[in-house]
């Protein structure tokens, strides 16, 4: 967590160190802090902000056309259209970047879910290797299809012929939720995953909702321990 005193103090010092930068009033600095979302205030700390400032000092081509604190956020948050996306948490590789603060780490590469999907990650007939290879919109459509298919499965208590088919069915369904089954074998009648869902429909729907939240970024982790780096 970062306090108003730490945030405004570090920003003011950074502006003094950078050439040709306009100094901001105490009131303006305070307003910058107040406008931060609760999530950013909680997950940010002086150590991470100091890293962002150092990256700004090292940047050979800084984006001078945006507010200074938004310039800093580009070094620690993922980018979309060259602007920091603050509601998705820190960059997935921030831990690696921050372990070498004396080297400039180009912030330009966008976070994976914002990148166009490459054909090399696709299986034949438009199937996917896994959900991590999909864009956010492709994931949303994938899970919407899962939701529709599960809703059409009629619950049954019929036992499978072989005892091991139950655990295997759950494993196959978990694979479906990861997106690694591709499109064609997705929850079709007669598959082990289909048979498992038919006997565990409520649990299957709960698992689907959990997967949707995790894969679409609806669940936002926070940290409340001050000055902890939230890895």
pLDDT band per the 50, 70, 90 thresholds, residue 186? low
pLDDT in tens, 8-66: 999 999 998 887 788 888 899 999 999 999 999 999 999 999 999 999 999 988 888 88
Q: 26-34 and 4-17 are packed helices; what angle lies between their axes, rounded to 10 degrees?
A: 130
pLDDT at 183: 46
pLDDT at 158: 58
Percent of the chain with pLDDT over 90: 26
Q: 192-199 and 165-177 are packed helices; what angle lies between their axes, rounded to 10 degrees?
A: 100
Q: Indicate the pTM of the whole model.
A: 0.50
In whole angstroms, give the CA distance from residue 79 to residue 121: 22
pLDDT at 134: 65
Q: For the ranges 35-44, 65-74, 212-221, which has the lowest average pLDDT?
A: 212-221
Question: Phi then psi for 129, rounded to 5 degrees?
Answer: -65, -50
Residue 117 predicted with pLDDT over 50: no
Longest dimension (CA), the chain: 76
Single out the residue of 44, 62, 60 nearest to residue 98, CA to CA: 44
pLDDT at 82: 83
pLDDT in tens, 125-170: 444 445 556 677 777 777 888 888 888 888 776 555 444 456 778 8
pLDDT at 138: 74
Q: For the ranges 34-48, 78-92, 109-123, which has the lowest average pLDDT?
A: 109-123
User: Cβ contacts of residue 169 below 8 Å, gap of 6+?
Assistant: 160, 192, 193, 194, 195, 196, 197
Instruction: Report which of residues 192 and 125 the model is more confident about.
Output: 192
For 85-111, what is the mean pLDDT? Answer: 83
Residue where the block lists tokens 């438009």: 126
Residue 124 predicted with pLDDT over 50: no
Percent of the chain with pLDDT over 70: 72
pLDDT at 9: 93
Tokens coding 209: 């909702």
Residue 201 predicted with pLDDT over 60: yes
Residue 55 contacts residue 49 (beta carbons within 8 Å) = no
**Average pLDDT in the chain:** 76
In whole angstroms, give the CA distance from residue 117 to residue 107: 20
């Amino acid at each position: 967590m970062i306090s108003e005193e730490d945030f405004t103090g570090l920003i003011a010092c950074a502006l003094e160190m950078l050439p040709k930068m306009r100094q901001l009033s105490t009131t303006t600095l305070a307003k910058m802090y107040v406008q931060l979302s609760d999530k950013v205030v909680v997950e940010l700390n002086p150590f991470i902000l100091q890293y962002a400032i150092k990256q700004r000092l090292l940047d050979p081509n800084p984006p001078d056309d945006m507010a200074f604190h938004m310039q800093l956020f580009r070094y620690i948050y993922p980018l979309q259209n060259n602007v920091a996306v603050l509601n998705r948490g820190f960059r997935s590789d921030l831990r690696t970047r921050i372990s070498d603060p004396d080297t400039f780490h180009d912030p330009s590469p966008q976070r994976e879910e914002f990148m166009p999907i490459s054909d090399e990650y696709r299986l034949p007939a438009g199937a996917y290797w896994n959900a991590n290879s999909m864009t956010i919109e492709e994931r949303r459509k994938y899970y919407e299809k899962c939701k529709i298919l599960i809703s059409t499965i009629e619950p049954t208590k019929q036992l499978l012929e072989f005892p091991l088919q139950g655990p295997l069915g759950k494993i196959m369904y978990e694979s479906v939720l990861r997106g690694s089954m591709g499109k064609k074998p997705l929850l079709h009648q007669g598959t082990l995953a289909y048979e498992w869902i038919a006997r565990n429909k409520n649990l299957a729907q709960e698992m689907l909702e959990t997967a949707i939240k995790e894969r679409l970024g609806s669940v936002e982790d926070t940290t409340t321990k001050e000055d902890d780096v939230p890895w």
